Structure 1
Amino acid sequence: MTTQSEIKKIKWGIIGLGSIANKFATDLATIDDAELYAVASRDQEKADYFADKHNARKAYGSYEALANDSEIDAVYIATPHALHKENAMMCIEKGIAVLGEKPFAMNAAEVDQMIAKAKEKNVLLMEALWTYFLPHYQFVLNELKNKTYGDILKIESDFGFQRPYNTKARLFNKTMGGGSLLDIGIYPIFTALSTLGLPKNMEASATFFENSTDSTCSMVFDYDNGAKAHLKSSLLEVLPTQAIFYCEKGTLKIDTQFHAPTTVTIIANGKEETKDFGYNTIGYNFETIHFNQLLREGKTESDIMTFEFSRNLIKTLDGVRNIIGLEY
């Protein structure tokens, strides 16, 4: 029997060293058969600091230098949205497996190019929408798939917080893909697509900052079976940030911060029960373990976060942008 110590450790690189990269690196350290090998920033001092903090062997002052390191097996791309495609294509070209932070890219055309390049090079590529892999979300998906509480009648899902308006910050920088829709609106949309699929009709409205980046976005998705999804994102107010699935015989509520490790409340038969999933990490390890397994098995596409799902997600985002008049 092969022991854990005999399994080759997957050498990870990280491109873009912001807050999400810190969380990813923290959880990567909890995985025995993987290591943080190299990190890259456009600022060498920042790369050195990050590498020292997270015990990475190498720190690069450019993304290109990391991509040229032949020792790297996989790379996590955590740069601003507008750079996702460029960074992914560079790594795929070098034969490095890519886990690309959501949104996968800025639009469907870019996502299609990334997928085509990955297929051409026979390289593993996956969108890093971590929520899909969290145990509480997988539990809810299974309950809904099995129709434990009947069909879904309505979804209410939102994500909102407040930050001081600052055009120098990535979140409010339109050229970097900032704004509520791409940054956090993707999560409520994800809840609808992962449970009800593509809608037959979409309605949407938005408010905008003075630099024309969207500050809020409200959406209603209609489905053939009569179900509706009411979705909202906001950078102007703190929202419950819950995902609630109203079914024929009960309600499943993913509690506050539904996109991250949290609890699930089940309301059915006049009773209310809250399930705790015993998380002891930030939650990024679950998608990483899945990705590592795909890489070890020689797979080039995830059976959970499939290319088809990533395409549907970005096309839906494109559709909402078209309705509200948001252009990048």
Structure 2
Amino acid sequence: MKWGVIATGGIAQTVTADMLKVPDVEVIAVSSRDVTRAQAFAERFGIKRAYGDYRELLRDEEVEVVYVATPHAQHHEVTLAALEAGKHVLCEKPLGISSAQVEEMIVKARTEKRFLMEGMWTRFNPLIRKVAGAVAGGEIGEVRTIRADFGFRTDFDAGHRLWAKETAGGSVLDLGIYPIALAHQLLGRPTHIAAHGGLAPSEVDADAGILLGYENGVHALLRCSLVADLGSTAEIVGTEGTIEIDRMYNPTKVIINGVEHETEDRGYRHQIHEVEIWAGQGAVEHSDMPLTATLDIMRTMEEVLDQLGVDYADIVR
């Protein structure tokens, strides 16, 4: 399929580099608010066309699918416009910054009959698929608890997207989404949510400790942080065994009941390949990252942010 990339930041560069390693993928257009940045990006990756506005890219009839790599606060606007223009969409996580936004995007995708997926690349990692299969197959018995962390220390900078309120920064939407998504994938939607953490001077969350509760006492203990180096590991403990995951957002090794399983780090290529297949078949969503799951995860994050005292109402459109 022929792809367009919207935005030219660090994540766009990383994903585009992987995109070009996937057979049959052709990236033909890129856009940025600064056309010179789009031109430099196009030259670096051998892309035919560079636009100074994402709307120009969406009018490009050759583009079939777009990868949205803008800051969080623009995901809703850009994704709706792309679906309206008849493009399939892979949008960086989180898909939106409120459940109402996500619901609107889902309705639009289904109305326009265009593929839409949040870029939760972790779900397509072969080892995460193996972990999910091991849990579903009862290899560790009944899961009783999940512990998952993702955090690193970065200096506060009110103008940086991680810290700025106008870009919907903070630890939960950027990092906490990974452990929350893992808990959702393995345990489903929680019946109880409790969160505690600190706020940055910019009124976004600096860190959070999250408890997700389920029936019969099953629970997930999750942490995310922009002010402390938590690492990125996860442990899933069942009545008959344990699973350990290192670099839980993109593992190359997991240990299931003491047995190591390894895979090559292929980055975002698994995810891009799946979009190619499912969008090419005319699907609206992917069974491994369904839109209902994205909405459930957003609702959990929304509740966590509410308990932390983070309010993005003034930037939600």
TM range (shorter): over 0.9
Take 1:209 and 1:296, find their aligned partners in 2: how far apart are those partners? 43
- Whether the aligned pair in 2 keeps the contact of 1:191 and 1:243 (CA below 8 Å) is no
Take 1:49 and 1:225, find their aligned partners in 2: how far apart are those partners? 55
Take 1:104 and 1:217, find their aligned partners in 2: how far apart are those partners? 20
- 1:63 Cα offset (Å): 0.9
Take 1:296 and 1:44, find their aligned partners in 2: how far apart are those partners? 30
Moved more, 120-129 or 69-78: 120-129
Take 1:54 and 1:136, find their aligned partners in 2: how far apart are those partners? 29
- 1:153 Cα offset (Å): 1.1
- Paired residue for 1:289, among 256, 269, 273? 273
Q: SS in structure 1 opposite 2:162?
A: helix
Task: Give the equivalent residue in structure 2 for 1:3.
Answer: none
- 1:200 Cα offset (Å): 1.1
Amino acid at match of 1:17: T
Task: Give the equivalent residue in structure 2 for 1:123.
Answer: 114
- Paired residue for 2:259, among 273, 287, 299? 273
Take 1:222 and 1:32, find their aligned partners in 2: how far apart are those partners? 42
Q: SS in structure 2 opposite 1:36?
A: strand
- 1:30 Cα offset (Å): 1.0
Q: SS in structure 1 opposite 2:230?
A: coil
TM-score relative to the length of structure 1: 0.93
Task: Give the equivalent residue in structure 2 for 1:312.
Answer: 296
Task: Give the equivalent residue in structure 2 for 1:7.
Answer: none
- 1:274 Cα offset (Å): 2.1
- Whether the aligned pair in 1 keeps the contact of 2:4 and 2:65 (CA below 8 Å) is yes
Take 1:156 and 1:262, find their aligned partners in 2: how far apart are those partners? 19
Q: SS in structure 1 opposite 2:295?
A: helix
Cα deviation per residue 1:94-125 (whole Å; 9 max; x = unaligned)? 10001111000010000111111111111111
Q: CA RMSD in A?
A: 1.0
Take 2:231 and 2:30, find their aligned partners in 1: how far apart are those partners? 35
TM-score relative to the length of structure 2: 0.96
Take 1:263 and 1:182, find their aligned partners in 2: how far apart are those partners? 25
Task: Give the equivalent residue in structure 2 for 1:264.
Answer: 254
- Paired residue for 2:242, among 251, 259, 275? 251
- 1:202 Cα offset (Å): 1.0
- 1:273 Cα offset (Å): 2.8
> Which residues of structure 1 form unaligned runs of 5+?
1-9
Q: SS in structure 2 opposite 1:204?
A: strand
- Whether the aligned pair in 2 keeps the contact of 1:203 and 1:323 (CA below 8 Å) is yes
Task: Give the equivalent residue in structure 2 for 1:186.
Answer: 177
Take 1:261 and 1:291, find their aligned partners in 2: how far apart are those partners? 20
Take 1:120 and 1:73, find their aligned partners in 2: how far apart are those partners? 17
> Which residues of structure 2 form unaligned runs of 5+?
313-317
